[in-house]
Amino acid sequence: MSQFDLTEDQLAIQEMARRFTADAITPFAAEWDEKHIFPRDTIRAAAELGFGGIYVSEESGGIGLGRLEAALVMEAMAYGCPSTSAFISIHNMAAWMIDRFGSQAVKDKYLPSMVPMERIGSYCLTEAGSGSDAAALKTRAIRQGDHYVVTGSKQFISGGGENEIYVVMVRTGDDGPKGISCLVIEKDMPGVSFGAQERKLGWHSQPTAQVNFDGVRVPVENLVGAEGEGFRIAMMGLDGGRLNIGACSLGGAQRCIDEALTYTKDRKQFGQSIADFQNTQFTLADMETELQAARTLLYAAAVKVTENAPDKTRFAAMAKRLATDTGSSVVDRALQLHGGYGYLMDYPIERFWRDLRVHSILEGTNQVMRMIIARDMLRP
């Protein structure tokens, strides 16, 4: 595990997250996956360590850490369950957006219950007709007096139907990104409904559903930022979200390398451990080298996002692209090293293979990451 010159405080946060994962996540993750269990109690236990408001300011009740510390936490928890770690990441993104851009009134209204994860937050940007083209969203919010009336739907929402708080990107103005605003909408507001739970390849420990708004009256005070700032807020949130999902890939891949090391030492073929074969050794060496390279880039990008560096978005995109592609590639090779046993649910590899596959799609597809990187490179 690369230390990347981590400080004593960062190492302590990392170790705390690892211990929590070993005790509260790893022993139960296979059952959560198989039985589609949403581990709300475990998630709230994580919040007791401060993981419900990692980069929410201390003034708002969070622990006020940076994006590298958040990545360390997500990576550590993903070692046990990438699905659960990613779910906690999404909540943190929603809470941060309220803390960073919300009025004092909206912060006071929601953060005291969100930081301890008594109420959990979802991030709602994607729609059925606007995935990568997020600025084309259609969900409409029309102001009527001291309320907005919201109509539309959001697709693939983590926590949909279970979470209590939804940070929603809506159209308050003309077409394009400058017509988008951000509202906080509650689960029990009249007109909010949910589609059926999606049947997914992986991420079985977290609910995913469509969120529908049918004339939902939302107080104007629930506006996060000013009208027209929603798309900018959403994109800033995604810088951190991309780091976290990349960190989840790192943690899952590290687990699979460790499992492969144990298995290849124990597994005998042709009278010797398969770890003694040069082909196995070369495969393991490549897996480790590629993972360390991805980890180093992601940690560097996390520092840039924390420091608000001019090239932070490009580095977040590069780190997300490399970490998620590398994570899936490493897990696939770990499965191959396990042979037929890797395909069985008796071993954890197949679960990580399924869970990590979506990481190259969400928080912006890896094709879009390449667009972001190239556009920044070519900017005059």
- The string of DSSP letters for 350-369 reads HHHHHHHHGGGTTTS-HHHH
> Residues 348, 307: one domain?
yes
Instruction: Please check whether residue 2 lies inside any domain of the structure.
Output: no
Catalytic site positions: 363
Q: How large is the average pLDDT for residues 151-180?
A: 97
> Residues 128, 91: one domain?
no
Note the pLDDT of residue 131.
80
132 pLDDT above the threshold of 90: no
Token pair in block for residue 342? 């890797």
Token pair in block for residue 257? 């390398």
* Distance from C-alpha of 360 to C-alpha of 372, rounded to nearest angstrom: 15
> Residues 98, 54: one domain?
yes
3-class secondary structure, 124? strand
| Strand bridging mode 165-171 / 121-124 | parallel
Residues 6+ apart with CB under 8 A from 364: 132, 238, 242, 317, 320, 372
* Distance from C-alpha of 354 to C-alpha of 358, rounded to nearest angstrom: 8
> Residues 277, 372: one domain?
yes
3-class secondary structure, 188? coil
* Distance from C-alpha of 240 to C-alpha of 199, rounded to nearest angstrom: 27
130 pLDDT above the threshold of 90: no
> Residues 218, 309: one domain?
no
Torsion of CA 269, 270, 274, 277, to 10 degrees: -160
Note the pLDDT of residue 4.
64
Token pair in block for residue 303? 């520092």
Token pair in block for residue 200? 């997914």
Instruction: Please check whether residue 1 lies inside any domain of the structure.
Output: no
Note the pLDDT of residue 1.
42
3 pLDDT above the threshold of 80: no
Instruction: Please check whether residue 3 lies inside any domain of the structure.
Output: no
> Residues 238, 163: one domain?
no
Total domains, the chain: 3
Instruction: Please check whether residue 87 lies inside any domain of the structure.
Output: yes
> Residues 108, 153: one domain?
no
Instruction: Please check whether residue 275 lies inside any domain of the structure.
Output: yes
Token pair in block for residue 185? 């909408």
DSSP 13-66: HHHHHHHHIIIIITTTHHHHHHHT---HHHHHHHHHTTTTSTTS-GGGTS----
- Tokens 């979802």 -> residue: 122
Instruction: Please check whether residue 91 lies inside any domain of the structure.
Output: yes
Q: Which of 144, 332, 317 is nearest to 241 (CA)?
A: 317
**CB of 225 within 8 A of CB of 301?**
no
**CB of 131 within 8 A of CB of 175?**
no
Question: Which of 206, 226, 246 is the last residue before a domain boundary?
Answer: 226
User: At CA 204, angle to CA 197 and CA 368, rounded to 5?
Assistant: 85
Q: Which amino acid is at 124?
A: C
- Environment class of residue 7 by beta-carbon count within 10 Å: exposed (0-12), middle (13-18) or buried (19+)? exposed
Percentage with pLDDT > 90 across the chain: 97
Instruction: Please check whether residue 14 lies inside any domain of the structure.
Output: yes
Note the pLDDT of residue 104.
98
Question: Which of 114, 129, 146 is the last residue before a domain boundary?
Answer: 114
In this prediction, residue 187 has a pLDDT band, given cuts at 50, 70 and 90, of: very high
* Distance from C-alpha of 301 to C-alpha of 290, rounded to nearest angstrom: 17
> Residues 276, 183: one domain?
no
Q: How does pLDDT run across 24-69, given as a tens digit for each residue?
A: 999 999 999 999 999 999 999 999 999 999 999 999 999 999 999 9
Q: Which of 90, 85, 72 is nearest to 295 (CA)?
A: 72
> Residues 363, 260: one domain?
yes
Strand partners, 212: 153, 193
Q: What is the residue range of 49's domain?
A: 8-114
Question: Which of 67, 85, 114 is the last residue before a domain boundary?
Answer: 114
Q: Return the half-sphere exposure (C-beta side, CA atoms, 13 A cut-off) of residue 276.
A: 8
- CATH number at 147 reads 2.40.110.10
> Residues 173, 87: one domain?
no
> Residues 76, 151: one domain?
no
Note the pLDDT of residue 340.
98
Strand partners, 40: none
> Residues 138, 210: one domain?
yes
E strands along the chain, which residues? 121-124, 140-144, 147-158, 165-171, 180-186, 192-194, 208-219, 223-224, 268-269, 272-273
Instruction: Please check whether residue 268 lies inside any domain of the structure.
Output: yes
- Regarding pTM above 0.85, the answer is yes
- CATH number at 43 reads 1.10.540.10
Q: How large is the average pLDDT for residues 332-339?
A: 99
DSSP secondary structure code for residue 131 in this structure: S
